[in-house]
């Protein structure tokens, strides 16, 4: 079974630029999560989707972050404009249902300079 795929693996941008990350979850997984992991800390949930609907986006900085999962499969996370403090690893995870094990992708490491 293929795992959660994320791209790109690494991205370096200047502050105030825009960036987008892509996630392809495990086939059949209805729940998809985006996490932000700052170096040395545990992951922090940004947004959770159930199919193509948003379940929880309470910690998503909506003035600059947006995410979508239009067809209930792939998802994109966008930051516009980026700030220095957005430098982190962005992890995508998926699970078959909202209360089953979440499987993580390798993450996208974003550096904002």
Determine, following the binding rule CB under 8 A, whether residue 57 of this chain makes contact with another protein: no
Interaction between residue 1 and another protein (CB under 8 A): no
Distances (CA, A) of 98 to 20, 38, 103: 25, 24, 12
Applying CB under 8 A, what is the total number of residues that bind another protein?
Answer: 19
Angle at 96 between CA 47 and CA 69, to 5 degrees: 40
Q: CA angle at residue 46 from 51 to 53, to 5 degrees?
A: 20
Q: By CB under 8 A, name the one of 30, 52, 56, 72 that touches another protein.
A: 56
Tokens of 33: 């999560």
Q: Is 45 in the site for another protein (CB under 8 A)?
A: yes
Residue of the chain from 41, 53, 63, 70 that contacts another protein (CB under 8 A): 41
Of 77, 79, 102, 110, the one binding another protein (CB under 8 A) is: 102
Residue 58 tokens read as 């309470």
Binding site for another protein (CB under 8 A): 4, 40-45, 56, 91, 93, 98-99, 101-102, 104-107, 109
């Amino acid at each position: 079974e293929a795992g959660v795929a994320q791209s790109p693996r690494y991205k370096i941008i200047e502050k105030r630029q825009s960036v987008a990350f892509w996630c392809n979850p495990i086939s059949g997984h209805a729940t998809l999560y985006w996490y932000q992991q700052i170096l040395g800390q545990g992951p922090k949930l940004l947004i959770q989707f159930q199919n193509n609907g948003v379940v929880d986006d309470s910690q998503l900085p909506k003035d600059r972050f947006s995410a979508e999962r239009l067809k209930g499969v792939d998802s994109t996370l966008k930051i516009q404009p980026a700030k220095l403090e957005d430098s982190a690893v962005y992890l995508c995870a998926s699970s078959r249902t909202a209360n089953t094990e979440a499987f993580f992708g390798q993450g996208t490491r974003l550096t904002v300079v």
